[in-house]
Structures are given as C-alpha cells and as structure tokens.
Amino acid sequence: YLNSKGTRSSVKLQGASKVDGIWNLEAKESFAGEATLQRVYATWDHNTKNHVQLPPPFLTSGEHTSKAILELSPWKILALVQVRASQSHSFLDLNNLVEEMSLNINTENQKASWKSEIEVQYLSLQNDVQLSNDQEETRLDVAGSLEGYLWFLNSIALPIYDKTVWEFLKLDVTTSTDRKQYLRASTALVYTKNPRGYVFSVPVQELADKFVIPGLKLNNLNLVLVTPTFQVPFTDLQVPSYILDSSEIKVYKKLSTSPFALNVPALPKVKFPEVDVLTKYSEPGDSSVSFFEITVPKFQLTVPQYTYPKSISFGNAVLDLNEMASKIADFRLPDITVPDQTIEIPSIKFSVPAGIYIPYFGSLTARFGVASPLYNATWSTGLKNKEDHVETFLDST
C-alpha cells in the first residue's frame, strides 16, 4: 500500500511437508513493514515445527520460533530480537533455548540488554547482561546461574582419598542427590553522575535580528573565508556567495531558504517551497550549558502528475522496460499515471550547545556476589566524591 504519506507492506509464507511415519514439517514466515516521514517500523516472525522418525533409534521433534522488531523515528531507536527453541532427540534433549537481545535509545535514556537461557537434559544455564544510561547514572549488570543435578558425582571415585567426589565435598551434609543444585554469580558496576561541573560557555551577544559570537584572534590575524556562488546539481537552486569571518560569527534568528525544484531524470519534478528556519538562544536552565534551538517548521512538497516511463536512459544507453517485461511474460506494461501529490514534511527541532560542560567525578561502586547451597559471599567497593573530601569503602560478607 502506497500513498503520499508513507508505505506499508506485508508478506506471509507458509509451507508444509508430510510423509506418514517418516517426517512432518511445518514452516511459517511473516514480515510487515511501514515507512513514513516520521517513523520506520518493521517486524518479522518465524515459526517451524518438525518431527522426524527414521529407523530406530533416531527420533527427533521440536519447535523453533523467532521474532524481530525494528522501529526508527527521530531521536529514537528500538530493536528487539527473540529466539526460542526446543528439540527432543533420542540421544540428547534440548528442553529449552531462549535468546533475547534488545536496544532502546532515545535522547534521555539508553539501554541494551542480552538474556540467554539453555536447558539440556538435567542442566540449565542462564545469563543476563544489561547496560543502561540515563540522566542520573550509568550502570552495567551481569548475572549468571548454573543449575542441575549432581548425582553423577557419587559415581566418580578419588582413589587417593578412597572417597567419591560427592563424599569428598561433603555434599550429603547440606543436600541430597535428588535435589537440584545451583551456582549463581552476579556483578554490578554503577557510576552515579555528579550534577556539578565546569562550564565553558561561548560568549553570545543578542541583537534584534541575530546573535553575534566573537571569534578568535591570533596575532592580530583574522581568518576570512569566502564561498563562491554555485549551482546545486539537479536543481535550479543557486547558492549565493557567503563570507565567513572568524573574528565575528553571526547566527540569524530567522533564515529563509529560497524555493527551488528538484528535477532528477526519469523522476517527477518536486517543488520545494520557501522555508523559514528559526533560531532561539536559551540560557542554562535544566541543562548544564546554554544552547541554540533550531526549528525547521513543517512544510509541503508539491509533486505534479507523473506517468511512469516505459524506457530509461543512462547516457547513450536506453533500457526498454517493455522489452524486459516481454522476456518474463507475454505482456506489455500498462500506462500508469500518478495524480498530483502533496507531501507534508513534519517539523524538525534540534539543539546545538553553545559551550562545553565537564562534570565533576561522582561516585563509582562495584558489587560482586556468589551464591550456592554451600557458600554465599558478597563483596562491595566504591569511591565517592564528597564536597570537601573523597570517600572509599570496602565491604565483604
């Protein structure tokens, strides 16, 4: 589906194969996507089932599913990948397999994570990794665990001690062979940001119609750069000459762009209107430094009526689309005409800092822990920056 505001598309595939008494296979694929001027979104799903029975003792059956999501929009990224599987086998069983990776990024928070879980026979392994950043802290968390039955240690002998591994570790004191054992470990590294810091601001003088930033003067030499007038390719836009004086930089509060037309061969002519770009200067408030806020208001592009060509020229070469279509199937391309279109471009706003901010050191803490039926331990250490001193600590339990 296609219109002037965006496009949507979806694809679904499904297949199956079955031979009685030998195999039964099923597969499904699904994809959907949407693209507009404000967002790009795509999702993909995969699912398969299998059952295969060959001459004994070979027998296997399982199910696999996967999913992926991607979303892109101004100043935001979201991605997710999930994989799940289970496969039973006459020799080895994969009871569960889970993999998940996610990414979420915007102007205020950023987070990435990876989770994994695998269970084979009587053993299970899990891990979790997360990295996050926000206005207050940056942290890294890592955790893992191993679970399973250790009854097989009772059958491993240590000739030197005349004992089994189970007896040597004295596991019978705290547990038994029919209980699942575990070993868990985790660590965390956290940096807490300091709201105070050094600020180096650029001096800005505000006038009625512009902002003036004094430039640098080295040995009484002023660097003046003059850009020549030039024509933008595939347009009727002529960029005038501009003088950039390093001794004084001017930022206008309102800058109007010239209207122009984009004319690319074999494509319709697109007309761009005049747009007023607005610039505003803001003093430090919630932010650490002052900044220029630049706003491009929404505007509309005009695309005239257009008939799709049946041949495309590349220099002296001509590509006949009708001839190509006749080689694939016995038909000629129909006349396709797209009526006049008006495309709306959304407003865009972004900020440019007018200075440099170097924060003071905040606090850095680290934690590590281990847990099991026989042993538990936790270690913590950190370094904190106080107003008049630096504090450090170390704990162990």
DSSP track, 277-333: EEEEEE-SSSSSS-EEEEEE--EEEEE--EE--SEEEETTEEEEHHHHHHHHSS--P
Kindly report the backbone phi and psi dihedral angles of residue 174, in degrees, each rounded to the nearest multiple of 5, phi listed first: -110, -15
Enter the pTM of the model: 0.74
The 8-class DSSP code of residue 67 comes to E
* Count of residues making up the chain: 397
Q: Is the pLDDT score of 178 beyond 70?
A: yes
Name all contacts of 127-136 with Cβ < 8 Å and 24+ positions apart: 133/109, 134/108, 134/109, 134/110, 135/108, 135/193, 136/192, 136/193
- Asked if 261 and 220 sit in the same domain, the reply is yes
Q: What is the pLDDT of residue 81?
A: 97
Q: Which domain holds residue 241?
A: 198-304+340-357
317 is a domain residue: no
Boundary (domain end) residue, out of 79, 102, 121: 121
Q: Is the pLDDT score of 22 beyond 80?
A: yes
Q: What is the pLDDT of residue 268?
A: 82
- Asked if 67 and 138 sit in the same domain, the reply is no
70 is a domain residue: yes
Q: Is the pLDDT score of 102 beyond 90?
A: yes
Distance CA 170, CA 118 (A): 28
Least confident of 277-286, 289-298, 311-320, 375-384: 311-320
Please report, rounded to a whole number, the percentage of residues in the chain having pLDDT higher than 90. Answer: 39
Which run of H or of E encompasses 174?
helix 171-174
Mean pLDDT for 222-233 is 84
- Asked if 228 and 345 sit in the same domain, the reply is yes
Q: What is the pLDDT of residue 99?
A: 94
Q: What is the pLDDT of residue 48?
A: 95
Mean pLDDT for 204-219 is 80
Q: Which of 180, 194, 47 is nearest to 119 (CA)?
A: 180
Mean pLDDT for 177-187 is 87
Mean pLDDT for 200-227 is 79
- Asked if 252 and 275 sit in the same domain, the reply is yes
Distance CA 295, CA 343 (A): 19
As a dihedral over the C-alpha atoms of residue 299, residue 304, residue 305, residue 308, rounded to 10 degrees, the angle is -100
106 is a domain residue: yes
User: What is the CA 274 to chain-centroid distance, rounded?
Assistant: 35
Mean pLDDT for 281-285 is 79
Distance CA 219, CA 392 (A): 48
Cβ(319)–Cβ(257) below 8 Å: no
Q: Which of 30, 39, 37 is nearest to 9 (CA)?
A: 30
224 is a domain residue: yes
User: What is the CA 254 to chain-centroid distance, rounded?
Assistant: 35
Kindly report the backbone phi and psi dihedral angles of residue 238, in degrees, each rounded to the nearest multiple of 5, phi listed first: -110, 115
- Asked if 266 and 347 sit in the same domain, the reply is yes
Question: Between 123 and 143, where is the model more confident?
Answer: 143
Q: What is the pLDDT of residue 65?
A: 96
pLDDT band at 220 (very low <50, low <70, confident <90, very high): low
330 is a domain residue: no
313 is a domain residue: no
Distance CA 52, CA 315 (A): 57
Q: What is the pLDDT of residue 330?
A: 73
- Asked if 165 and 58 sit in the same domain, the reply is no
- Asked if 67 and 106 sit in the same domain, the reply is yes
Boundary (domain end) residue, out of 121, 142, 158: 121
- Asked if 233 and 349 sit in the same domain, the reply is yes
- As given in the structure block, the two tokens for residue 256 are 């109007």
Q: Is the pLDDT score of 13 beyond 60?
A: yes
- Asked if 213 and 295 sit in the same domain, the reply is yes
Distance CA 392, CA 385 (A): 9
Mean pLDDT for 226-240 is 88
180 is a domain residue: yes
- Asked if 257 and 163 sit in the same domain, the reply is no
Boundary (domain end) residue, out of 75, 96, 121: 121
- Asked if 190 and 210 sit in the same domain, the reply is no
Cβ(312)–Cβ(324) below 8 Å: no
- Asked if 210 and 347 sit in the same domain, the reply is yes
As a dihedral over the C-alpha atoms of residue 66, residue 71, residue 77, residue 83, rounded to 10 degrees, the angle is 0
Q: What is the pLDDT of residue 221?
A: 58
Q: What is the pLDDT of residue 222?
A: 63
310 is a domain residue: no
Query: Domain count of the chain?
Result: 3
CA 291-71-42 angle, to 5 degrees, is: 155
Cβ(187)–Cβ(380) below 8 Å: no
Q: Which of 120, 110, 115 is nearest to 100 (CA)?
A: 115
